[in-house]
């Protein structure tokens, strides 16, 4: 459909920001799929780069497309990370984690000098929160952790996949938290991180440097 064409266009556009010799952060999700496919074509044409995958799914796509990989332990610092998002607000704060990779995505993106977000125009919002906020939690006694999260005026729902509890690449669970609206993303992120049993939140605050938006008639570049 049209959304997929817009994801393909914006994913491919991001590859224009990749320079020879860069060490990259490789995000996760269906928009990043198109970025990886294009990146593999450029590598095949002689581009010299290496990438740190932010999920096993991204690792598989990178191998399929011939994108050379390194671990974050080897790379330490990255020149540029390219990732998707579920929501982007006017301050470039993000909701992420729809694909369940938020912890490794945040670790990879945090290690990068520059972060480019690639989204279909439907992801742009005035306020975060319409998309249930993914929060990664420790499985041990998860019900107690979820109950503490609920006290922040939300409804945390344990993520399942094919009727099984979804387990992240890090062996943790995810609760998707339905807030009426998120008026203070910074404060909410801090409150969540203070809760015993919470590993990481899908709130990516003050991380994105550039947002590429796939629109009907092309790609719009938003700079903060």
Annotated binding-site members for substrate: 28-31, 83-86, 96-99, 123
Q: Out of 105, 136, 178, 215, which one is annotated catalytic?
A: 105
- Sign, Cα dihedral of 53, 126, 147, 110: positive
Q: Which letter does DSSP use for residue 99 in this model?
A: T
Identity of the residue, 75 or 87, whose beta carbon is nearer to ligand DER in the bound complex: 87
Contact 63, 37 (CB under 8 A): no
Between the alpha carbon of residue 81 and those of residues 14, 96, 134, 190, the distances in Å are 10, 15, 21, 24
- Residue 132 interacting with ligand DER (CB under 6 A): no
- Residue 8 interacting with ligand DER (CB under 6 A): no
Q: Which residues make up each annotated binding site?
A: 28-31, 83-86, 96-99, 123
Interacting residues with ligand DER between 26 and 45 (CB under 6 A): 27-31
Minimum Å distance from CB 202 to ligand DER? 7
- Residue 25 interacting with ligand DER (CB under 6 A): no
**Farthest-apart Cα atoms in the chain, separation:** 54
Q: What pairs with residue 138 in β-bridges? A: none
- Residue 99 interacting with ligand DER (CB under 6 A): yes
Number of C-alpha atoms within 13 angstroms, CB side, residue 154?
A: 26
Minimum Å distance from CB 63 to ligand DER? 19
Identity of the residue, 31 or 145, whose beta carbon is nearer to ligand DER in the bound complex: 31
How many residues in the chain?
224
- Residue 191 interacting with ligand DER (CB under 6 A): no
> For this structure, is 16 an active site residue?
no
- Residue 214 interacting with ligand DER (CB under 6 A): no
Q: How far apart are CA 211 and CA 43, in angstroms?
A: 24
- Residue positions annotated with a catalytic role: 105
């Amino acid at each position: 459909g049209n959304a997929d064409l817009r994801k393909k266009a914006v994913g491919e556009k991001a590859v224009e920001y990749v320079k020879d010799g860069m060490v990259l952060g490789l995000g996760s999700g269906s928009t990043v799929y198109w970025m990886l496919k294009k990146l593999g074509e450029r590598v095949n044409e002689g581009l010299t780069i290496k990438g740190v995958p932010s999920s096993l799914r991204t690792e598989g796509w990178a191998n399929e497309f011939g994108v050379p990989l390194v671990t974050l332990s080897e790379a330490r610092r990255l020149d540029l990370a390219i990732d998707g998002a579920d929501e982007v607000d006017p301050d470039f704060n993000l909701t992420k984690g729809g694909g369940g990779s938020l912890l490794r995505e945040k670790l990879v993106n945090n290690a990068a000098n520059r972060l480019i977000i690639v989204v279909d125009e439907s992801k742009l919002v005035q306020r975060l929160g319409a998309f249930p906020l993914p929060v990664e939690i420790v499985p041990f006694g998860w019900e107690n952790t979820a109950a503490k999260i609920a006290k922040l005026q939300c409804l945390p729902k344990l993520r399942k996949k094919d009727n099984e509890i979804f387990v992240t690449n890090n062996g943790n669970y995810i609760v998707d938290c339905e807030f009426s609206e998120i008026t203070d993303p910074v404060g909410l992120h801090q409150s969540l991180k203070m809760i015993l049993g919470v590993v990481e939140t899908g709130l990516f605050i003050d991380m994105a440097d550039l947002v590429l938006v796939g629109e009907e008639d092309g790609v719009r570049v938003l700079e903060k």
